[in-house]
Amino acid sequence: MTLSQHTPNLPPIITVVGFSDAGKTTIIEKLVPELKQRGYRVGTVKHAAHGFAVDREGKDSWRHQQAGADIVAVAGPDKIAMVINTPDDILATLRRMMTGVDLMLAEGFKSARLPKLEVLRKAVHANPLFLEDPNLFALVTDIAMPSPAANGLSVFGLEDTPALADLIVERFLTPTTAADTFDRCG
């Protein structure tokens, strides 16, 4: 079984890929409310290829990590942040942890062998990066391309969020997914 297949309590993952500044975050910002309006719960992951810092040196959570904790969580009145020391398969680990969502949208992770949604804007680059990748299922672009493309790829305009959401629901979410999530969450 591949990571992208739907299994009970584990959401499918779609990677949103493309050049830097192509609009990946913007597409996710549009897709999340569209899918939520349809009754689905969506988790997102942002790949930080060059690393990131959640806390500052000297803070208690930083000190916990320096002491050797494998997982450090910071809990506030309305949110939780966790730092997990480099697991072997980041997306598989996150998939198991993101209980209660129907779908994960992962920005980046372009080398993952998962379904890919590529964002391409002519102001950034003229040609898709992943046209030959068998995992590419859709292209969101402002470049005129035949739809569907020669290889059966679905092509959407930058503002075509409802149609893109239709495809995601059809291909990756079952009609009962949202109800199953509600049952799991209580």
pLDDT class of 39 with cuts at 50, 70, 90: very high
| Amino acid, res. 145 | M
pLDDT in tens, 158-176: 999 999 999 999 999 976 5
Residue 155 vs residue 73, higher pLDDT: 155
How is residue 61 written in tokens? Answer: 């959570």
pLDDT class of 183 with cuts at 50, 70, 90: very low
The pTM assigned to this predicted structure is 0.78
Q: What is the DSSP letter of 120?
A: E
Inter-residue contact 167 to 175 (CB < 8 Å):
no
d(CA 173, CA 4): 12
Q: Which domains does the chain have, with CATH numbers?
A: 13-50+88-185 (3.40.50.300)
- pLDDT in the model for residue 181: 44
pLDDT in tens, 44-87: 988 766 555 667 788 888 888 888 887 778 888 887 777 777 66
The residue among 93, 117, 143 whose CA lies nearest residue 35 is 117
Strand partners, 141: 120, 157
d(CA 101, CA 36): 10
- pLDDT in the model for residue 182: 45
Inter-residue contact 143 to 122 (CB < 8 Å):
yes
d(CA 33, CA 15): 17
What mean pLDDT, rounded, does the chain reach?
82
Number of other residues whose CB lies within 10 A of the CB of residue 151: 9
3-state secondary structure of 53: coil
Number of other residues whose CB lies within 10 A of the CB of residue 150: 8
Number of other residues whose CB lies within 10 A of the CB of residue 110: 18
- pLDDT in the model for residue 186: 38
Alpha helices in the chain (DSSP H): 24-37, 60-66, 90-97, 161-172, 177-185
